[in-house]
């Protein structure tokens, strides 16, 4: 599919989606959401992709939230439909069986913070700014912010951010555990690519199972989470990658994971 509101490319088993409406600070409108959804479907169907990176076009923004010009025209039912569509797409992003890294290069506000925290982790440029400013528009987060943000940084911190609508810097986000690393803006993509390249050499099944066990385990009690891990561990042992990984160790050579799901 040809895309306009995003740029989609794949190189060395690493896919990159760049939100591409820089004049509107990459704000999320219906067209962009549709293209994001289609690109995620392409990625889910492609067994050669090991890692996905999300970033924003230009040097000012990752995503400055939902497109307010579009949002302002919605009645309550249209808003419900828009929020539900956003949730479905962000859930699809979170459930991809590969690693997903947000490279946040500027403003990540409202829907921008919400997309970034649905990724597996965030590397932020030193000029990045996060926030849930919806309260200043007389609304609340609608793409998962009231749910994922408290799970990530605790309910009190999430409430402060959501109640005040204030932006926080990349350094503050680092202290809150919202981002994994803060990187000089000009080095951000290089560092993200390096980590993505490292992850791309690992076993596909083990990465998928680790991700699913962590994500599923976050929403259940410890005993249930441990049972999820036991099943996932057993499943990994049935994969060609586990034979290659353990065999390579015993033969004192580097493992070469093929990433196939079956023999
Ligand atoms: N929507 C539409 N246009 C935007 C948006 C946006 N979210 N953000 C910026 N723009 C546009 C500006 O209007 C401006 O356009 P123009 O040049 O035509 O006037 C251009 O981008 C550049 O922006 P600024 O001139 O404002 O740039 P500044 O550097 O002065 O300010 C800010 C940057 C601080 C990021 C500022 O643009 C801003 O506050 N933007 C809005 C941020 C915001 O409130 N985001 C939350 C939106 S609501 C949301 O995300 C809810 C998600 C779930 C919804 C589901 C419910 C249905």
The verdict on residue 255 lying in a domain is no
| DSSP assigned state of 62 | E
- Decide whether any atom of ligand 1 lies within 6 Å of the 103 Cβ: no
**DSSP string for 237-255:** HTSHHHHHHHHHHHTTS--
Is position 114 annotated as part of the catalytic site?
A: yes
Testing ligand 1's pocket by substitution, the residue of 31, 68, 81, 166 carrying the most ligand atoms inside 8 A of its CB is: 68
Order across the sheet with 99-104: list the strands.
6-11, 14-19, 51-56, 99-104, 121-125, 181-183
- Decide whether any atom of ligand 1 lies within 6 Å of the 134 Cβ: yes
* For ligand 1, atom 27: residue with the closest CA: 25
Residues 157 and 238 in one domain: no
Residues 139 and 239 in one domain: no
The verdict on residue 78 lying in a domain is yes
Task: Give me ligand 1 centre to Cα 4, in Å.
Answer: 19
How close are the terminal C-alpha atoms of the chain, in Å? 32
Tally the domains of the chain.
2
- Decide whether any atom of ligand 1 lies within 6 Å of the 82 Cβ: yes
pLDDT of the chain along its 263 residues, tens only?
789 999 999 999 999 999 999 999 999 999 999 999 999 999 999 999 999 999 999 999 999 999 999 999 999 999 999 999 999 999 999 999 999 999 999 999 999 999 999 999 999 999 999 999 999 999 999 999 999 999 999 999 999 999 999 999 999 999 999 999 999 999 999 999 999 999 999 999 999 999 999 999 999 999 999 999 999 999 999 999 999 999 999 999 999 998 666 55
Residues 106 and 156 in one domain: yes
Residues 173 and 229 in one domain: no
- Decide whether any atom of ligand 1 lies within 6 Å of the 56 Cβ: no
- Rounded distance, CA 144 to CA 130, Å? 15
Is position 70 annotated as part of the catalytic site?
A: no
Residues 72 and 53 in one domain: yes
CATH code of residue 245: 1.10.12.10
* For ligand 1, atom 52: residue with the closest CA: 111
The verdict on residue 196 lying in a domain is yes
- Rounded distance, CA 254 to CA 80, Å? 51
CA nearest to 19, candidates 111, 83, 137, 133: 111
Predicted pLDDT of residue 243: 93
pTM reported for the whole predicted model: 0.96
Residues 43 and 76 in one domain: yes
Question: How many C-beta neighbours within 10 Å does residue 67 have?
Answer: 20
- Decide whether any atom of ligand 1 lies within 6 Å of the 142 Cβ: yes
Give the Å distances, CA to CA, from 95 to 44, 73, 215.
10, 31, 9
Residues 159 and 234 in one domain: no
Predicted pLDDT of residue 72: 97
Which residues constitute the domain of residue 214?
A: 204-250
Residues 156 and 219 in one domain: no
Residues 169 and 235 in one domain: no
């Amino acid at each position: 599919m040809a895309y306009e509101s995003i740029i989609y490319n794949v190189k060395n088993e690493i896919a990159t989606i760049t939100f591409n409406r820089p004049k509107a600070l990459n704000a999320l409108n219906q067209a962009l959401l549709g293209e994001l959804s289609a690109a995620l479907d392409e990625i889910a169907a492609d067994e050669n992709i090991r890692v996905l990176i999300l970033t924003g076009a230009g040097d000012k923004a990752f995503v400055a939230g939902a497109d307010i010009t579009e949002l302002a025209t919605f009645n309550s039912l249209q808003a419900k439909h828009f929020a539900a569509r956003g949730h479905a797409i962000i859930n699809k992003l979170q459930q991809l069986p590969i690693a997903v890294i947000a490279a946040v290069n500027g403003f990540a506000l409202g829907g921008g913070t919400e997309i970034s925290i649905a990724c597996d982790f965030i590397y932020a440029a030193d000029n990045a700014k996060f926030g849930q400013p919806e309260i200043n528009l007389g609304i609340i987060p609608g793409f998962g912010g009231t749910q994922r943000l408290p799970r990530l940084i605790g309910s009190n911190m999430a409430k402060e951010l959501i109640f005040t609508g204030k932006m926080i810097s990349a350094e503050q986000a680092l202290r809150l555990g919202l981002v994994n690393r803060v990187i000089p803006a000009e080095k951000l993509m290089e560092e993200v690519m390096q980590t993505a390249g490292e992850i791309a050499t690992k076993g596909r099944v083990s990465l998928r199972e680790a991700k699913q066990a962590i994500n599923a385990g976050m929403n259940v009690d410890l005993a249930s989470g441990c049972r999820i891990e036991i099943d996932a561990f057993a499943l990994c042992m049935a994969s060609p990658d586990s034979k290659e990984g353990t065999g390579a160790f015993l033969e004192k050579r580097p493992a070469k994971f093929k990433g196939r799901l079956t023999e």
